[in-house]
Structure 1
Amino acid sequence: MKLNVYLAGEIHTSWREEIIAECEAQKLDITFTAPVTDHGASDDCGVEILGAEEDKFWHDSKGANLNSIRTRKAIKDADVVVVRFGEKYRQWNAAFDAGFAHALGKSLIVLQMDEHQHALKEVDAAAQAVCSTPSQVAKCLSYVLTGQLG
């Protein structure tokens, strides 16, 4: 079996690299995709490609719309969507990605800190697994692929 896994959410820490490294060390047959994680490129892609905007709302709208092409494609193609809710910022986009994945019937793994359990209870209720570390996510993916513990 092979899995396509989309790694959605927070872009300010190395959680994606940790999951990928652990899965590669186990030689798991997984293709990972992700949003653009260069914050500046993600924020400014719309105006860089389509032209400047004086109003910040339209600046952000152009970028969000352009980024949504990648996000929609990746989530639709994914077998499993992992959504990370980080510590520093409110990731409204992560919640949106989780809801979109759930609406499409995708398997969902949430990665969050324990102190966010109450705030994310509805998202957690839609998930097949709720993890607190990248290693737990990698172990979930390993189990799904191999059917074995450890």
Structure 2
Amino acid sequence: MEWNVYLSGEIHTDWREQIIAGCKERNLTVTFTSAVTDHDASDAAGDVLGDEANGFWRDHKSAKVNAIRIKNLIEKCDIAVIRFGDKYKQWNAAFDAGFCAALGKPYITLHGDDIIHPLKEVDGSAMAWAQTPEQVVELLSYVISR
């Protein structure tokens, strides 16, 4: 069976590449999907629908266009990995975790121990909490190979 793993969250570090490389090294049969990780492209996703003088409406349109991709990819995934970074608040990642929980999709959270408290509800619905991409690779290896 080929697993479909959705990678959600923080876009400013190479955690996605580390997980993908680790799974490749272990010869795991995994397809990875993700939201658009180019920040400027994501912010401009709705611009084709017309200019907006108010930033709220530009963000609103782009969020809906991006949600077409995100909603479909999460619905099709076997498991999601949801990363919360140190530098920015990833409200979108929290939303993705809630969507996974509502759909009954298993997910792994990936974050440092310094944000355990604000993520207690998100972690409460997760199947596992990892602190490093290497731990995620170990978890995926166990789940996929056993």
Same fold per superposition (TM over 0.5) = yes
How far apart are residue 121 of structure 1 and its match?
0.7
Matches within 5 A, 1:55-134: 55-134=54-133
Match of 2:46, SS state, is: helix
- Cα deviation for residue 24 of structure 1 reads 0.6
What secondary structure is seen at the aligned counterpart in 2 of 1:45? coil
One-letter code aligned to 2:50: G
Match of 2:19 in 1: 19
Aligned to 2:10: 10
The secondary structure found in structure 2 opposite 1:101 is helix
Give, as a single letter, the amino acid of the residue that structure 2 aligns with 1:69: I
Q: Distance in 1 between matches of 2:84 and 2:67?
A: 19
Unpaired runs of 5+ in structure 2?
A: none
CA deviations 1:26-61 (Å, max 9, x no partner) are 1100000000000000001111x2111000000101
Q: Paired residue for 1:52?
A: 51
TM-score by length of 2: 0.98
Q: Distance in 2 between matches of 1:95 and 1:5?
A: 17
Gaps of 5+ in 1: none
Q: Distance in 1 between matches of 2:53 and 2:120?
A: 38
Equivalent position SS for 1:8: strand
CA distance in 2, matches of 1:52, 1:9: 27
- Report the AA paired with residue 91 of structure 1: Q
Report whether the alignment pairs 1:34 with 2:34. yes
C-alpha RMSD over aligned residues? 0.6
Q: Distance in 1 between matches of 2:102 and 2:93?
A: 14
Q: Equivalents in 1 of 2:33, 2:16: separation in Å?
A: 10
3-state SS of paired residue (1:135): helix
Q: 3-state SS of the aligned residue for 2:137? A: helix
What is the distance in 2 between the residues matched to 1:2 and 1:141?
12
Task: Look up the equivalent residue of 2:114 and give its one-letter code.
Answer: E
Code of the residue aligned with 1:117 in structure 2: it is I
Identity %: 55
